[in-house]
Amino acid sequence: MNKTEMFPMSKLSRTDLLSLEDYAQGRNAFRARVMEHKKARRLPIGGHATLYFEDALTMQYQVQEMLRIERIFEPEGIQDELDVYNPLIPDGMNWKATFMVEYEDPEERREALAKLIGVERSLWVQVEGFDRVHPIANEDLERETEDKTSSVHFVRFELDAAMSAAAKQGASISAGIDHPEYNEAVTVPGDVRDSLVGDLH
């Protein structure tokens, strides 16, 4: 199950995936490895928002789990899952993430989502010495209404060559949310920073 780690920017194909039987046999060990990997792909921003940065390994896990749950084994069905999740793998000049607004209490969450319309567009990342980069959000479907936003968004941060080069040369990376109802900023910690730099060409 190491193929995707060798080529972190490549899209997944059917040859990267295990059969349902093989995955069932190796699932516990693979899941443990993915959960460990995800620790350096998680970036909390304040107490109620988190970016979960995706890559080929996290998407391989997602596809394998969907195939397992849905008992999908026919080529067309497998390709359908790949077509859904491949767009969430970074392309070498961007970071892609699942952005989640997280409130445990349902009533508090309902009230917050009503106040946080547009929060995904208020996200930003910044490589030291460069302007902030706001994401392209929810390219698959609209995730807000006039009354509330969603607790889950999919976002893509596009970097230019100079930003990528600076990040790879050690420039610090920060991230935040600049919304009237939620204003927070963090410096990306070393382990997450190293993982994100690994996404760049």
| 154 and 106 belong to one structural domain | yes
Assigned domain for 70 exists: yes
Determine how many CB atoms are found less than 10 A away from the CB of residue 8.
Answer: 16
| 105 and 82 belong to one structural domain | no
Q: Which domain holds residue 73?
A: 3-40+56-88
Assigned domain for 48 exists: no
Per DSSP, the three-state class of 110 is: helix
| 159 and 108 belong to one structural domain | yes
| 110 and 27 belong to one structural domain | no
In angstroms, rounded to a whole number, what is the distance separating the alpha carbons of residues 188 and 192?
Answer: 6
Assigned domain for 183 exists: yes
| 72 and 147 belong to one structural domain | no
Q: Is the pTM of this model over 0.85?
A: yes
| pLDDT class of 79 with cuts at 50, 70, 90 | very high
| pLDDT class of 10 with cuts at 50, 70, 90 | confident
Q: Which residues have C-beta within 8 Å of that of residue 192, sequence separation ≥ 6? A: 40, 41, 42, 43, 53
Q: For 181-191, how does the pLDDT look when each residue is reduced to its tens digit (9 = 90+)?
A: 999 999 999 99
β-bridge mates for residue 152, sequence order: 100
In angstroms, rounded to a whole number, what is the distance separating the alpha carbons of residues 155 and 143?
Answer: 12
From the list 72, 87, 83, the residue with the least C-alpha distance to 18 is: 72
What total number of domains does the chain contain?
A: 2
